[in-house]
Amino acid sequence: MATLSFFNTCFFDFGAVGRLPKAMAALGISKPLLVTDQGIRHAGIADRILDHLGDRSQVEIFDETPGNPTEAAVMAATRQCRDSACDGIVAVGGGSPIDLAKAASLMALSDRPLADYAGVSRGKVKQVLPMIAVPTTAGTGSEVSVGMIIIVQDGRKLTFVADEFIPDIAICDPDLTSGLPAGLTAATGMDAVTHCIEAVLSPVVNPPAEAIGLDGLERAIAGQALERAVADGADREARWNMMMASTEGAYAFVKGLGAVHAMSHACGALPGLHLHHGTLNAVLLPAVLRFNADGSAEKLQRIGRAMGLAAADSLADFIRLLNARLGLPANLAAMGVTGNHIEGLAEAAAQDMATQTNPRPVSRSDYELLFSEALDMA
């Protein structure tokens, strides 16, 4: 078993989920709130986790996490946590349950409104409940990251960043992803790939984080773990490498993300559409890569090398063709976004935190052009 010690301790191996009782004991958790969603429950994964937790009467379950976590859902989980006097949280699922659990671990011990903690809230967070994250997808990296994304009451999709939001312990068991359908494997996998690419391109100086991002790309793309995991969900080596690429993506994005995430967050907040974060990133990536080409030549070459591309290959074209092979949509129009959305999306993206670490400054009008390009890209 690999034990990765960066911001938290991450137990990483097939069967690592067996570590859960010890992890809970180490954090003094005796009455956990298990935060998950309906999909994980129906897939039987929540039961597999409960089997490791011993006395089920001591476990509270919140399984109402929406596809994109909302403040209302956070507060429902928080009430359950308080009412049952839970002393810690175990999050099981993709990025949404893990992010919702982070917010609940904060709100369980806070009387201020959630939005007060938006942005980089150094020093504002006094206390959070102990938390263990068990990812069941390979993409978000939320199990080792300082951030969470929540749609607050007024409809904005906000990023929250604080060291306290890093789960105390992460348990990465690639076997938990073996039943993930091909479509979700592709979409979440492209989220991990986008994290690695945007983190490397970010102008923040942090060569170790960059090296981790490049390793993630080598595993996912040059090593073909992503395409193999999509083609055959039971390919355990591919699942291991995708989960590692996902965790690495989050280690890398301590440097920040970029315009792809700013645009993707804006689209993810569109009411009624419930668009998947990873799918959005995959679809938006080619247009942003072309926009960022000016001034990022050396980094784009390093990224291309890590991905096993020839020097003359266009990274944007490679991603476009990869998306098609993975069965992902070609453009935003195919996802239900229309020209009428663009103005609002551009405004939201320009305000998004990820805009600040895009390698090339992006204005609101740049975003309008980028959204138009991504809307009907062939």
**How many residues sit in the footprint of Zn ion (CB under 5 A)?**
1
Instruction: Give the nearer residue to Zn ion in terms of CB position, either 63 or 191.
Output: 191
* Piece of 10-18, 184-192, 304-312, 364-372 that binds Zn ion (CB under 5 A): 184-192
Among 13, 60, 99, 191, which residue sits at the site for Zn ion (rule: CB under 5 A)? 191
Q: Which of 166, 106, 119, 164 is nearest to 354 (CA)?
A: 119
Report the residue number, 130 or 256, with the smaller CB distance to Zn ion. Answer: 256
Q: Strands 157-161, 88-93: parallel, antiparallel or unpaired by DSSP?
A: unpaired
Nearest CB to Zn ion, comparing residues 99 and 191: 191
CB of 95 to Zn ion, least distance (A): 7
- d(C-alpha 123, C-alpha 141), whole Å: 24
Closest residue (Cβ) to Zn ion? 191
Residue placing its CB nearer to Zn ion in the complex, 81 or 229? 229
Q: Cα separation of 323 and 12, whole Å?
A: 28
| 3-state SS record for 80-119 | HHHHCCCCEEEEEECHHHHHHHHHHHHHCCCCCCHHHHCE
Smallest gap, in angstroms, from Cβ of residue 137 to Zn ion?
11
175's enclosing H/E stretch is: none
Max CA pair span of the chain: 60
Residues 105-144 within binding reach of Zn ion (CB under 5 A) = none
Considering only the stretches 74-82, 112-120, 188-196, 330-338, report the one whose residues sit in contact with Zn ion under the rule CB under 5 A.
Answer: 188-196
- Residue 8's SS3 state is coil
Q: Which stretch binds Zn ion (CB under 5 A): 110-118, 190-198, 337-345, 361-369?
A: 190-198
Question: Residue 48: helix, strand or coil by DSSP?
Answer: helix
Quick one: angle between helices 182-201 and 259-268, nearest 10? 140
Q: Which is nearer to Zn ion, 18 or 329 (CB)?
A: 329
Name the segment binding Zn ion (CB under 5 A); options: 186-194, 308-316, 318-326, 343-351: 186-194
Q: How far is the CB of 191 from Zn ion (least distance, A)?
A: 4
Q: CB nearer to Zn ion: give 162 or 199.
A: 199
With CB under 5 A as the contact rule, which of the stretches 113-121, 154-162, 167-175, 183-191 interacts with Zn ion? Answer: 183-191
Q: Which residue blocks in the chain are alpha helix, DSSP H?
A: 20-27, 38-42, 45-52, 71-83, 95-107, 182-201, 207-217, 225-231, 236-252, 259-268, 277-292, 297-306, 315-325, 342-351, 364-375
CB of 261 to Zn ion, least distance (A): 6
Tokens of 141: 């990296």
CB of 250 to Zn ion, least distance (A): 9
* Identity of the residue, 37 or 191, whose beta carbon is nearer to Zn ion in the bound complex: 191
Q: Which residues bind Zn ion (CB under 5 A)?
A: 191
